[in-house]
């Protein structure tokens, strides 16, 4: 089983360069980083992972841009896989993201994974001009536009929310078609339809309830005519225990992303020491 970590890298934590070097030297498979552009102080949206005082964790408003962090990490590694978990695509210009993602995939030699998510913070999304109720449809439209830019030949796309002319757009993703694309979000027909259309697989948060949800996704995947062997399910932000990891192995999971504490450098390195027991 491949073991990666996700870390909230901020101006107060270990640097992307130091962490990436440590991960590669210790034998970890990958580094994933989250994204929030900002966290408005005015908040009507309940925070799903509040602290004991009901407050948003400090790191949410201090995150380093994921493309910047992973570009740094890529420059000092040769093997480590690098992913965004997850990019809030509704809040971005898809033409720019298509360029950023393909460029990072190119300079890393195909070591990049684009995790796509829909967000939880209505105020953050509103500042980006996103209508909350339509954000999933917006993400779908933007993925279709991005895939047109990644196509081998200039391809026009006219969507509900955006369009692009047939264009020369290089570099292309290393494997062709798209970078490895994984979706985050809660299990359900809407999410699974997105995964089936444009994803390589799912990042189930904490890996919870996979005994029930994984067969549903596999059925949807196969009914869409996609190769059953190609589906990738990667439990994400997992607090590992031997028992939990054994369940993943039983379910045929080949890759897990463990959750690092948003701590100062010494605390994050201690977490890597603890995680070493799961490396094989």
pLDDT of residue 53: 72
Domain 2-278: CATH superfamily is Luciferase-like domain (3.20.20.30)
pLDDT number for residue 48: 74
Report the residue count for the chain: 280
Q: pLDDT at residue 165 above 90? A: yes
Tokens of 143: 């993925």
- pLDDT, one tens digit per residue, over 195-252 is 999 999 999 999 999 999 999 999 999 999 999 999 999 999 999 999 999 999 999 9
**Above 90 in pLDDT, residue 25?**
yes
Q: What are residue 259's phi and psi, to 5 degrees?
A: -90, 120
Q: Kindly report the CA angle at 126 between 122 and 129, in degrees rounded to 5?
A: 145
Phi-psi region of 79 (alpha: psi -120 to 50; beta: other; left: phi over 0): alpha
State residue 46's pLDDT score: 79
Asked if residue 86 has a cis previous peptide bond (ω within 30° of 0), the answer is: yes
Distance CA 28, CA 279 (A): 7
CA distances from 260 to 14, 60, 169 (A): 11, 14, 36
Asked if pLDDT for residue 86 goes beyond 90, the answer is yes
pLDDT at 55: 79
**With pLDDT > 90 as the criterion, what percentage of the chain qualifies?**
92
The mean pLDDT value for 131-140 works out to 98
Q: How confident is the model at residue 182 (pLDDT cuts 50, 70, 90)?
A: very high
What was the pLDDT predicted at 50? Answer: 67
Q: Are 84 and 137 in contact (CB under 8 A)?
A: no
Checking if the pLDDT of 83 tops 90, the result is yes
The pLDDT confidence band at residue 52, using thresholds 50, 70 and 90, is low
Q: What's the CA gap between 34 and 161, in Å, rounded? A: 25
Q: Is the pLDDT of residue 51 over 80?
A: no
- Beta-carbon contacts of 218 under 8 Å, excluding residues fewer than 6 positions away, are 228, 231
CB burial class (10 A; 0-12, 13-18, 19+) of residue 239?
A: exposed
Round the average pLDDT of the chain to a whole number and report it: 96
In the predicted model, is pLDDT for residue 49 greater than 80? no
Q: Does the pLDDT value for residue 54 go beyond 80?
A: no
Place 74 in a pLDDT band, splitting at 50, 70 and 90: very high
Q: What is the pLDDT of residues 105-120, one digit of tens each?
A: 999 999 999 999 999 9
């Amino acid at each position: 089983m491949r073991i990666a970590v996700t870390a909230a890298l901020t101006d107060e934590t270990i640097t992307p360069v130091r962490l990436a070097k440590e991960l590669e030297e210790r034998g970890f498979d990958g580094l994933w980083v989250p994204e929030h552009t900002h966290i408005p102080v005015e908040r009507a949206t309940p925070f799903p992972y509040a602290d004991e005082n009901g407050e948003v964790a400090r790191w949410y408003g201090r995150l380093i841009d994921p493309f910047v962090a992973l570009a740094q990490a890529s420059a000092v590694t040769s093997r480590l896989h690098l992913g965004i978990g997850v990019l809030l695509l509704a809040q971005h210009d898809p033409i720019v993201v298509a360029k950023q993602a393909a460029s990072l995939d190119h300079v890393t030699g195909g070591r990049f994974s684009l995790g796509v998510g829909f967000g939880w913070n209505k105020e953050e999304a509103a500042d980006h001009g996103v209508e909350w109720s339509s954000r999933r449809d917006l993400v779908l439209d933007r993925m279709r536009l991005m895939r047109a830019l990644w196509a081998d030949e200039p391809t026009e796309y006219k969507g509900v929310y955006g369009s692009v002319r047939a264009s020369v757009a290089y570099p292309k993703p290393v494997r062709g078609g798209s970078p490895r694309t994984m979706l985050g979000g809660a299990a359900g027909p809407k999410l699974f339809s997105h995964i089936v259309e444009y994803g390589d697989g799912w990042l189930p948060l904490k890996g919870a309830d996979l005994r029930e949800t994984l067969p549903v996704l596999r059925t949807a995947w196969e009914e869409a005519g996609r190769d059953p062997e190609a589906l990738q399910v990667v439990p994400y932000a997992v607090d590992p225990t031997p028992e939990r990891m054994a369940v993943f192995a039983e379910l045929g999971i080949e890759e897990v992303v463990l959750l690092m504490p948003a701590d100062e450098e010494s605390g994050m390195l201690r977490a890597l020491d603890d995680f070493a027991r799961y490396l094989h």
